[in-house]
Amino acid sequence: MSLASHIAQGSCRTSRLTHINDLPVLTLKLGRIDRQIMIVMIPFCRSIEEADRVLDTLAQNGLRRGERGLQVYVMCEIPSNVILAKSFAARFDGFSIGSNDLTQLTLGVDRDSAELAALFDEQNAAVEWMIRSVIGAAHEAQAKVGLCGQAPSDHPEFADFLVGCGIDSISVSPNSFVAVKRRVAAAERRQDHERQHGAAVAW
């Protein structure tokens, strides 16, 4: 199935538990949902130790990864998520790249600062290296990778880069959905053509 069929409308949102007492309530609500169509997303996970604690806490409250098909993803929005991608991939079923936070923390630029706005660039070489690296590490571990953030919506050409990296899914804003979907489909066609042409030349 092509990436073009895995472009979701809407912004990327994660419910952040503010207190451990919230977990039984969450478990009760999630218990009514088919876990094979549900993915729990862990935001801002800074270290492997924190990942293990979160997964243990979820399991203790009836949300054990792999049980009844439950998948648990981690947001990739901190450089440590990329640097330790192989270790994170061993613990989670997939990554969701939060390009806004990853850009901010990679470049050391406050995205809400008007004074530094010109320096905030998701297409900066360092940010693209981060994205390419985590996708590669995740796929080596057979984990899925998606991206949510403004980059594909604000810069449709950024979709070409993501297709080239082999990303599995993209979340975009509703007003750019059609344009980005078409861009991704075109990029995939070019990629398929190049592969076929390359294979023919090699043969």
Residue 49 lies in a domain: yes
Is the pLDDT higher at 147 or at 27?
A: 147
Domain extent for 129 = 38-149
Interval 90-109 mean pLDDT: 96
The domain that contains 74 carries what CATH number? 3.20.20.60
Within-domain flag for 155:
no
Based on the structure, what is the number of domains in the chain?
1
Which of 163-186 are b and which e, b meaning 16 or more Cβ less than 10 Å from the residue's Cβ? bebebbbbbbeeebbeebbebbbe
Tokens encoding 101 = 């936070």
**pLDDT tens per residue, range 59-73:** 888 889 998 889 999
Residue 127: inside a domain, yes or no? yes
Beta carbons of 7 and 169 less than 8 angstroms apart: yes
**pLDDT tens digits, residue range 137-170?**
999 999 999 998 888 888 878 989 999 999 999 9
Distances (CA, A) of 145 to 30, 45, 46, 164: 23, 16, 18, 13
pLDDT over threshold 70, residue 34: no
Residue 128 and residue 112: Cα distance in Å, rounded?
A: 21
Residue 194 lies in a domain: no
The C-alpha atoms of residue 121 and residue 161 are separated, in whole angstroms, by 14
Domain for residue 5, yes or no?
no
